Structure 1
Amino acid sequence: MAGKKGNKKLPLTLRLKSWWEGYDSEEVEKRYVEALPEEVPETAPEPEEDKNKPKETQSGLAVDPWDEKSIDIAQYIWGEGYCGPGGPEYIVSLSKLLALSPEMSMIQLGADIGGPARTLCDRFGVWITGYERDENLVNAGNELSKMQGLGKKAELEYYEPESEEFKGFDRKFDRAMAKEALCFLQNKEEVIHAVSEKLKPGGLFLITDYVLGHDAATAKDNYKNWKVGERDNPYPVMAEDLTELLKKANLQVRVSEDISIQYVEMINQAWRGADKIATQLAQQEDGAQMIQILMREAEYWTRRKKLLEHGDLKLWRIVANQKSGGPSMMSDW
């Protein structure tokens, strides 16, 4: 008697290739499995559920989103020191309106492993403190900063902005940046106020963040799948709601624009050739586990990219300054 087709899946190279070439990898996998011959399943007792087993992601890997191997995989894809879209050239271009200089101090929320901070320190000489919610990223980032001679100028600190112990930042600074960080905080208003309180007169705050593309986005299955599958729970708001929070914090919004197209292009560019990375990883002793982590990362970015392409999510850029002062060349913005 013919049985089910079991747990057959699309081979790794085909899954990766279908994604960067613009095909829906889930649909390709469905057609691939349908074309396989039937097989008789082996009977086996159902394993008992271990209540002490760590929670798993949709990819089946235990949740430890930024262990050493995950950090390594991120850098394979995005470049040394980076955990997401936007390498050195993009960061420099994104920050050009900040008019950075060696005399300035800056904070960055969502510092990851410090790639953007080190890029800006190296290019403009600015002193940056990066704040990050994951201790593994902080430790790895500080090691990289020390190796590059930037241990003091691009230092990362662990912080818990949603805890009761969070009382804001302990010193004044000239510039601030939040790179895809506010979306994952419920208390956005409190954190924005904390930034505003320590931003010097005329100081600038640069934000890039995921925002809702429209009111109906949260009802869609793709959105629900994205929300469940993320490392941290996302809490995106509409772009206008985010700008209103800035205004409430005594910040004047100077730039507010959709940069989703550029962001999706960066995602596609970074993931092109990831099948070659998978082939290289397969030669390593821990290759099977590394490839699993690579596929988990691909799943994260597949879901994000799909929402961005459909307009359910957008990547928004905002530049704001204190109302009490501002740059002298606003006409150049």
Structure 2
Amino acid sequence: MATKQKKPDAKVPLKLRLKAWWEGYDTDDIKKRLSERTGKPEMDFSDEPKAERPKELSAENLDPWDAATVDIAQYIWGKGFCGPGGPDYIVSLSKLLALSPEMSMLQIGAGLGGPSRVLVDRFGVWITGFEESEMLVDKGRKLAKMAGLEKKAQLEQYVPEGFEGFDRKYDRALAKEALFTIEDKSNMIAKIEEKLKPGGLFLMTEYVIGSDAVLGKDKYKEWVVGERRHPYPVLADELVDLLKKHHLQVRVSEDISMQYVDMINQAWAGADEVAAKLAKREDGTMMIQTLMREAEFWTRRKKLLETGDLKLWRIVANKKSGGPSMMSDW
């Protein structure tokens, strides 16, 4: 009896796999749908580059950023950026700060320094950025030197846990998605307020949870496990209360989640073109693996933002000119 030959599995283009993630389908669902449509066996992804899970953090591997991930971030978000929000967004976001060349600014979560260099270039402000990742600081300093801005847009590496404080006063402070991975937010806000000059402004954009019920959801738990650093998001009201506790007056408190989701979608819309460029590199297979891992990372975040379980909150607060406030002032 002749042996019945198995039909060869069809290949699944990388573009389709990225699109599948973006539209909320998992790999098994895509295999099944395409198998039914084409009459071919369910597709085998074994020879496709796989999005390997990042290594577990340990004493020897505390930095979740490596050179490949930094490169992919800049392919997606733009040179000097490792997350949503390009130059136009950063300038628009910071307009209420009324920045000028006479001012100094403190930034928490500086990343590669792209946002700070944009603000230095546009407003002439002097910025010291603090970033947890040694890899991002090293890469960011090189970018600042190339731009001739190493003095006006400085980057410093720091460890939030047990942080003793900043060594000088600042006119302005900025924290861009930086506090949600800090467990003791009260201590960090206190350190910022301490070095903010009277009348100074503090702008933050921050991940917050939609409700306490979110903490028990499976999707939220998956997101926590997949983050680069363990997240500790709180309710928006809790964040506002912490600012008030440390003598800061909240002037703006608003949900900008949908604008943020739009920026994520726009950036990742060109992921297939990025993949095509990467494929031509000598290390193309490894870089595409990193691209796929980043696609999964941002898909998890985006899904929670779309459901409202996670939100991106914008807050502008100021330090009163007359010193610490009395409770009757609030």
Q: Give the TM-score taking structure 2 as reference length.
A: 0.86
Extract unaligned runs of 5+ from structure 2: 5-9, 45-49, 57-62, 324-330
Q: Give a deviation string over 1:101-135, Cα, whole Å, max 9, x none.
A: 00000011000000000000000000000000000
Unpaired runs of 5+ residues, structure 1, are 3-7, 41-56, 327-333
Partner of 2:76: 77
Q: Spell out the pairing of 1:78-227 with structure 2 (5 A cutoff).
A: 78-162=77-161, 164=162, 166-227=163-224
Q: Is 1:15 the counterpart of 2:17 in the alignment? A: yes
RMSD of aligned Cα (Å): 2.4
1:262 CA drift (Å)? 0.2
> What corresponds to 2:52 in structure 1?
59
Does the aligned pair in 2 maintain the 1:17–1:275 contact within 8 Å? no
The question of whether the paired residues in 1 share the 8 Å contact of 2:202 and 2:317 is answered with: yes
> Structure 1 vs Structure 2: percent identity of aligned residues?
65
* CA–CA separation in structure 2 for the residues paired with 1:128 and 1:24: 43
Q: How many residues align?
A: 303
The 2-side partners of 1:66 and 1:157 are apart by 16
In 1: Cα distance, 2:179 partner to 2:211 partner: 18
> Partner of 1:329 in structure 2?
none
In 2, Cα distance between equivalents of 1:240 and 1:184: 17
Cα shift at 1:314: 0.3
Native 8 Å contact 1:9 1:33 kept in 2: no
Q: Note closer, same or farther for the CA distance 1:217–1:30 as it changes in structure 2 (3 Å cut).
A: farther
Shift of 1:29: 3.0
Give 1:59 shift: 3.0
- Structure 1 residue 16, shift from structure 2 partner: 1.0
CA deviation map 1:248-271 (0-9, x unaligned)? 111010000000010000000000
Q: Deviations over 1:52-94 (max 9, x none)?
A: xxxxx98334356311111111000000100000000000000
Q: How far off its partner does 1:17 sit?
A: 2.2
Conserved in 2, the CA contact under 8 Å of 1:207 and 1:319? Answer: yes
Q: Distance in 2 between matches of 1:266 and 1:121?
A: 23
Structure 1 196/249 Cα, relative in aligned 2: closer, same or farther at 3 Å?
Answer: same
* Counterpart position of 1:43: none
Q: CA deviation at 1:30?
A: 5.0
